[in-house]
Amino acid sequence: MLVETAPKPARTRPGTPLTSEQAERVRRIRRSGAYVLLAVSSAVFLLPFLWMLTTSLKSDAENLAFPPQWLPDSFHFDNYVKGWTGSLPFTRFLLNTIVITALSMAGNLISCVLPAYAFARMRARAAGFMFAALLATMMIPREITLVPKFVIFSKLGWVDTYLPLVVPEFFGVALYIFLLRQFFTTIPQELIDAARIDGASELRILWSVMLPLAKPAIAAICLFSFVGNWNQYLENSIYLRSMEKITLAQGLGMFNGVYVTQYNQMMAVALMSMVPILVVFFLAQKTFIRGVTLTGIAGR
């Protein structure tokens, strides 16, 4: 008696190209996995920010509740007003931070553009060695130089002034010089040769040719400098002593000493101090990402 058996499905041999349906299924699985990974990563990074936001809207009793509660029973937006206009002059701290950040950004641009152009387009003996020595300074932790710099600045009488925070920024930052140099090497040499044939000096070439084309890299450097100087706390605490010269980062550190249990107001002021950084980043987001991408993959 003959028994009919169902045909077995054909097995895909290794190396056999997938059908259109199988390829689409693989793409969907990969896309779903990528979305899940991005969602989990975003949740991890956003969790502290969400905790700050909810804490800034809690009452004093809810801050001390145990176990902690994520969402307050009622939103207290007056924490922002009380924290900013309390016993600490945060408006003065904000102005001090703006002055120091603006001067430091100007110093970074002036002191980093010139050597970056020289390393990228000018020929000199031992240029490679000097560039390697410049990059080697990035391996020195910043904390190691704190004591020597403090001794020098204290003998100069610069303690409790803005000078120790601003003047060193006019002497170059190795990372910024490296990023700008990498971008300058991507600019076609023909443009520079044409400018030299027309009689342009090196400074004229830098100002009229290189800088207009290097706007993405300059935007990236400005954003790095802005965030670094805006959030600077260690060196500000070392050199700034009087209340009228203190910055926002120092003010937040003092907030914990003045209002020991009022973490809601502390978080409110911390969120307000983050607003300028978020505004600057979203305004220059496309230019910043383009600058980082080009400076990261270019160069020779």
Q: What is the mean pLDDT of each run of 10 residues along the chain (300 residues)?
A: 50 61 81 88 86 86 79 85 85 93 92 89 83 88 89 92 92 89 86 85 85 85 89 90 89 68 82 87 73 51
Domain 81-297 is classified in which CATH homologous superfamily?
MetI-like (1.10.3720.10)
pLDDT at 294: 57
d(CA 232, CA 278) in angstroms, rounded, equals 16
Angle between helices 285-297 and 174-184 (to 10 degrees): 80
pLDDT at 295: 53
CA distances from 122 to 56, 58, 61, 189, 213 (A): 54, 59, 65, 11, 18
Q: Where in the chain is the domain with CATH 1.10.3720.10?
A: 81-297
The answer for residues whose C-beta is within 8 angstroms of residue 164's C-beta and 6 or more apart is 149, 153, 158, 235, 239
DSSP at 260: S
pLDDT at 16: 63
Q: Got the DSSP string for 207-246?
A: IIIIHHHTHHHHHHHHHHHHHHHHT--HHHHHH--SGGG-
pLDDT at 300: 43
CA distances from 112 to 116, 162, 181 (A): 6, 21, 9
